[in-house]
Amino acid sequence: MTLSGKRILLVIGGGIAAYKSLDLIRRLRERGAAVRCVMTAAAQEFVTPLSVGALTADHVFTDLFDRQDEHDVGHIRLSREADLIVVAPATADLMAKLAGGLANDLASTVLLATDKKVLMAPAMNPRMWTHAATRRNRGTLEKDGIAFVGPNSGEMAESGEAGAGRMAEPLEIVAAIETVFDSRPKPLAGKKIIVTSGPTHEPIDPVRYIANRSSGKQGHAIAAALARLGADVRLVSGPVTIPDPLGVKTVHVERAEEMRDAVEQLLPADAAIFVAAVADWRTADSAGQKIKKVAGKGPPALKMVENPDILATVGHHRKRPWLVIGFAAETQNVLKNAEAKLKKKGADLIVANDVGTAGTSSGGVMGGDRNRVKVVSRAGVEEWPELSKDEVADRLAALVASRLATTAV
Ligand SMILES: Cc1cc2nc3c(=O)[nH]c(=O)nc-3n(C[C@H](O)[C@H](O)[C@H](O)COP(=O)(O)O)c2cc1C
């Protein structure tokens, strides 16, 4: 119940993404928030006040000149009784109105009359989003202290249209709302941190590849934990089936070489944490066509070559981050290998985990939800108890915050 007791006024604008606002209401109420809605006239063309009211269990406000609601100047009351106003979807029109100070319907009047924080989740066609007028309006609104979540890039509802303009997903909006209310200290604010996560896939031919069992759970949890402490996190993720962590900018790659290039492009950074299980080898040349099984010829011999060592590349880089942390997944001699890795790779810390099947009480570390790690530095070895991957992530994020704090003079 992360939003317990919070009162959220949700302004629904007239865009196709209005249907997602129904889910947003549910997600907010699940977390203990009380949600009230204002709908523009255009919004009611997309979803009905009946559905919205059924989900909020409250009256839905649609009309500035409503005699019942306005006998005590209801629009001012509405704007003040909330703890936060969220506009989702925020149409180009609503953004323009607020940037220009217009107040000619209930939604725009409430937005102008409020003394509360406003969070906008824009949604519109990519051309509308990139239009100079919308860019100008966004700049004005940001200067006025309005917060934004999204938009994301991808396919639009209109067929054949793609680009930036999709409304952030309901859970992303929830995360942005939780961040607004989160008053915990943000020791990593202003710090840029690169995290790699997941496996890499090294192609053999267009349909086959060499992979490993990494799920990305630990790396993604670390990225999310660092973001909760205020860091600007850039996650470079190999192919995984889990969603991108909220509040983190994620780049998706497949192969080790792509991961190395993506990481180098993100430098400089204050810290880098290499959690991904990068394949040590790739095939010398992946076949352009599917390798056919030929009777009597036997299996093909795969010639392997070494992949780039991303940790060592960054550990010895001219733009080396101040803090470099590597993960060492081993099945034997865990500690000895971690100590050797520390020296060879130019890392400050190695987080060693035994990924053998007896790794944790719940079974294997790779793909599982728990982890038991040893943190190896030049100062010695710290052994952490068996923890969930989220707990390991929180502890490591706190460690990163304390290490980076020593750089601030
Ligand atoms: C089918 C359809 C879809 C639309 N989708 C969007 C949209 O996603 N974003 C947007 O800014 N405007 C969209 N519009 C245009 C808005 O509905 C129009 O600008 C309207 O005046 C917005 O009113 P409001 O800002 O008061 O809600 C759409 C219009 C139509 C007919």
Topology (CATH) of 192-405: Rossmann fold (3.40.50)
Domain limits of the chain? 7-181, 192-405
Integer Cα distance of 300 and 68 in angstroms: 80
Which residues have any ligand 1 atom within 6 Å of their CB?
Answer: 13-17, 40, 42-43, 91-94, 123-124, 128
Q: What is the pLDDT of residue 73?
A: 64
Residue among 38, 91, 105, 155 to mutate when testing ligand 1 (max atoms within 8 A of CB)? 91
Q: What is the pLDDT of residue 1?
A: 79
In this structure, is the dihedral angle defined by the CA atoms of residues 367, 371, 374 and 376, taken in order, positive or negative?
positive
Q: Which atom of ligand 1 is nearest to the CA of 93?
A: 25
- For residue 150, report the distance from its CA to the centre of ligand 1, in Å: 17
Strand partners, 19: none
Residue 357: other Cβ atoms inside 10 A:
12
In three-state secondary structure terms, 25 is helix
Rg, C-alpha atoms of the chain:
25
The DSSP code sequence of 85-133 is EEEEEE-HHHHHHHHHT---SHHHHHHHH--SEEEEEE---HHHHHSHH
Strand partners, 272: 194, 324
Percentage of residues in the chain with pLDDT exceeding 90? 72
Look at ligand 1, atom 19, and give the residue with the nearest C-alpha: 93
Query: Token match 């992979």: residue?
Result: 211
Residue 72 counted as an annotated binding residue: no
Question: pLDDT tens digits for 292-351?
Answer: 888 888 888 889 999 999 999 999 999 999 999 999 887 677 778 888 888 899 999 999
- Of residues 331 and 20, more confidence is placed in 20
**Does position 135 have pLDDT exceeding 70, yes or no?**
yes
**What are the structure tokens assigned to 198, written together?**
């997941």
Residue 46 counted as an annotated binding residue: no
Q: Which atom of ligand 1 is nearest to the CA of 91?
A: 11
| Arithmetic mean of pLDDT, 123-143 | 95
User: Would 7-181 and 192-405 be classified into the same CATH topology?
Assistant: yes
Question: pLDDT tens digits for 249-274?
Answer: 899 999 999 999 999 999 999 999 99
Topology (CATH) of 7-181: Rossmann fold (3.40.50)
Question: pLDDT tens digits for 210-245?
Answer: 999 999 999 999 999 999 899 999 999 999 999 888
Q: What is the pLDDT of residue 408?
A: 54
**Does position 360 have pLDDT exceeding 60, yes or no?**
no
Integer Cα distance of 11 and 112 in angstroms: 13
| Arithmetic mean of pLDDT, 55-60 | 94
